[in-house]
Structure 1
Amino acid sequence: MIVFPAIDLKAGAVVRLAEGDMDRATVYGDDPAAQARQFAEAGATHLHVVDLDGSFKGEAQNRGAVEAIVAAFPGRVQLGGGIRTRADVEGWFAAGVARVVMGSAALKDPEFVKDMAREHPGAVVVAVDARDGMVATEGWAEVSDVPVIDLARRFEDAGVAALLFTDIGRDGLLTGVNIDATVGLARQVDIPVIASGGVKGLIDIDLLAQFAPQGIEGVITGRALYDGRLDLAAALRVAARA
């Protein structure tokens, strides 16, 4: 199982939000590249990066910071936030990003996302962000009337690398991963699932690792790392056993 340390970007700074609310941002640093190197030194081989401003604007807003992270991190960088067009996708791959994450586009233009997944095998992740079981888009500012499982099933046999499932109500709150909903999704679709939202400590990594054979590809963690509640090296060891 993969542990993805998260670097969320707002105005070039490393931040974490509470429940996806831009007005509830905690700043953890102003040097994203240095943060990426620190995660690499702890043993991370994958990063999850989000251009938060891009999520709301619908286009990249932190390009310089993302490029600096890619240059500084020796592993694979997964990027989400404002990726809505072919030019966005191809531009980020050209910049060295390993996988792109698309959420709003997946709901509003699923055929485009499927095309990108077919053209770039193993490099497109679909974000399935849930608020009370319904898909949220536009940086989680809008909640649709589409159930999570319905959106996920649209992409079966489309060649997407994974589904990134986030329980928005837990994100950044250190209340624990929604294990039931995450594993339930993995059991209902034939696509690997990445868990996100609410990681509070090593117990969450251990619990998720037990379900790796049932389709849990990885877990994203942010605030728990920044607040010192989760030791990245220990999390990587637990995940490796899965």
Structure 2
Amino acid sequence: MILYPAIDLKDGQCVRLLRGEMAAATVFNDDPGAQARAFHQAGAEWLHVVDLNGAFAGKPVNAEAVERILAAVGGRMPVQLGGGIRSLEGARAWIERGVSRIVLGTVAVKDPAVVHDCCREFPGKVAVGIDARDGRVAVEGWAEATEIEALDLARRFEDAGVSAIVYTDIDRDGALGGVNVDATAALARAVSIPVIASGGVKDLQDIRALMATGAIAGAISGRALYDGRLDLGEAVALTKSGGQATGQTGGN
């Protein structure tokens, strides 16, 4: 299982939200490039970046901050990017700049043909972001609820060539209440696409629980890394060891 440290960008700064509320943003670093370097130096294998403003605006807003991240770690650590990518042209622009994987969320619901087009043009470089509240998908930066079940959406892309699904339990995101292991594992077992867990990953115990399912390909953590509840080096060592690493179990 791969651990993805998260950099969420709002107004050019690294922040964490509470359950997706832009008004509940905590700034952790005003230098995204430095934060990316710190995660790389701590042993991260991948980096997960979200343009939060872009997710609401439907177009890239924090492009300069993303460029700083790519300049800091490009070529040394792959970066997956989501937020505001709504077209083939937008996906192409970021991949040409060095993004290793794009994450398509809102457009997967509103214009799924874009996902198929991107998968054909950029094989292995497209993920679908499924953000759910009570099992139902939310879009437009989580501001718009739908009646679509997360599993139904995932199944629509079984044959599209999607390289991963990033599944976020919105009510767990940024709340440090623990990851929704059961829902994430159920989704992972129901589809053939690798699933990455997001939302609420708070400590090594959560990572062990995800690994123990034998079904989940990755986990994203943000706030717990920033506030010290989760040590990135220990977490990476645990994932690489297959769950046999010793050390802190984390905690409240």
TM-score range, shorter chain: over 0.9
Q: Deviations over 1:1-35 (max 9, x none)?
A: 11100000000000000000000000001000000
- Cα deviation, residue 39, structure 1: 0.4
Q: Which residue of 1 aligns with 2:209?
A: 207
- Cα deviation, residue 241, structure 1: 2.1
Q: Deviations over 1:117-139 (max 9, x none)?
A: 12211100001110111000000
Q: State the one-letter code of the partner of 2:50.
A: V
- The correspondence of residues 127-138 of structure 1 with structure 2, limited to 5 A, is 127-138=129-140
**Where does the alignment leave 5 or more consecutive residues of structure 1 unmatched?**
none
Partner residue of 2:85 out of 61, 71, 83: 83
Q: State the one-letter code of the partner of 1:132.
A: D
CA–CA distance in 1 between the matches of 2:6 and 2:167? 14
CA–CA distance in 2 between the matches of 1:186 and 1:78? 20
**Where does the alignment leave 5 or more consecutive residues of structure 2 unmatched?**
243-252
Q: Which residue of 2 aligns with 1:23?
A: 23
- Cα deviation, residue 111, structure 1: 1.6
Q: Is the 8 A contact 1:209 1:238 kept in 2?
A: no
**TM-score normalized by structure 2?**
0.94
CA–CA distance in 1 between the matches of 2:206 and 2:70? 28
- Cα deviation, residue 179, structure 1: 0.3
Q: Is the 8 A contact 1:18 1:172 kept in 2?
A: yes
Cα RMSD, aligned residues only: 0.7
CA–CA distance in 2 between the matches of 1:112 and 1:48? 21
Q: State the one-letter code of the partner of 1:175.
A: G
CA–CA distance in 2 between the matches of 1:58 and 1:112? 14
CA–CA distance in 2 between the matches of 1:112 and 1:61? 20
Q: Deviations over 1:177-211 (max 9, x none)?
A: 00000000001111100000001111011111222
Q: State the one-letter code of the partner of 1:47.
A: L
Q: State the one-letter code of the partner of 1:50.
A: V
| Identity of matched residues, % | 58
Q: Deviations over 1:38-73 (max 9, x none)?
A: 001101120000000000000000101101101111
CA–CA distance in 1 between the matches of 2:65 and 2:97? 12
CA–CA distance in 2 between the matches of 1:187 and 1:241? 23
